[in-house]
Amino acid sequence: MKPILFAVIFIIVISFFVLDGSLSAEELPRTGIGVRFSHWNVKDKAIVLYVHDNYFSTEVDAGGYGGAIFFFSRINHQFFVEFTVGAIGAVDQRTRYWDYEEVQTNAVIPLLFGLRYNLLPISIQSNLQPYAQAGFGTYWISDIHVESDYFYDSYEKVSFSSESRPGGYVGAGMNFMLSKKFAINFDMRYHMVDFRSDEYHNGIEFGFGCSLMWGK
């Protein structure tokens, strides 16, 4: 938590020195593109590194991290339309002394269309722009399972499956306008997807990113 807290404080302090003035209604950019890095614990697991020395075995569970590219365009002073393409991944790995390895790789790839609403009225000119958002789309789910044993049977098995599920999200965030065309943002989304499986879970996604804007 400390690095995240320091990053937030740093951005707030920097904003007081490098901002080029609050934006008026006529100066608001119309179109933009951005990237965001996020954490969504879709497998509902903590990051684990487990080593058992007696049997020379290792277990690694890691995941819930990913990123996205998003495009947006202003409808009016308050509303934006937004399209997001992203991916969240997870890896479970098991190894044993006798050259046995099992790797399970999972990925959720959302293709989402949404609306973003600036909460501050246009009469309040500020470089800090809180917003609410909601959207829907398709969540592609891909699973790759690899199992290999080169000591006893000398074999390797690979299986792959993929399917899509409809879903949606609601959330809120904050844009820090560092200039008229560049912003840093933090947001939080709650995804609602019918995964039809106990292996995946709905949940909160925390995101951090930046965006570049142009046009009026």
Q: Where are the domains of the chain?
A: 2-214
pLDDT tens by residue, the chain, 216 residues = 444 555 555 555 544 444 444 455 455 667 899 999 999 888 777 666 555 555 566 777 777 889 999 999 998 888 999 999 999 988 777 777 667 778 888 889 999 999 999 998 877 777 888 999 999 999 998 888 888 776 666 767 788 888 889 999 999 999 998 888 899 999 999 999 988 777 777 889 999 999 999 876
**Alpha helices, DSSP H only, in 98-163?**
none
DSSP 97: T
Q: Cα separation of 29 and 106, whole Å?
A: 38
> Which residues, in sequence order, are CB contacts of 76 under 8 Å at separation 6+?
none
CATH code for 2-214?
A: 2.40.160.20
Pull the structure tokens for residue 17: 């020195």
DSSP 27: G
Residue 168 amino acid letter: G
Pull the structure tokens for residue 134: 């909601």
Segments of the chain assigned E as strands: 31-40, 48-52, 57-74, 79-96, 100-118, 128-149, 155-177, 182-193, 203-214
Q: Cα separation of 36 and 66, whole Å?
A: 9
Query: Is the distance from CB of 192 to CB of 200 less than 8 angstroms?
Result: no
pLDDT (0 to 100) of residue 19: 45
DSSP 3: H
Pull the structure tokens for residue 19: 């901002």
Pull the structure tokens for residue 158: 């690979």
pLDDT (0 to 100) of residue 42: 82
Q: Cα separation of 212 and 172, whole Å?
A: 19
Residue 107 amino acid letter: A
Beta-sheet pairing, 100-118 with 182-193: unpaired
Q: Cα separation of 141 and 147, whole Å?
A: 20
In whole angstroms, what separates CA 205 from the centre of its chain? 6
pLDDT (0 to 100) of residue 124: 76
| pTM of the shown model | 0.76
Q: Cα separation of 117 and 115, whole Å?
A: 7
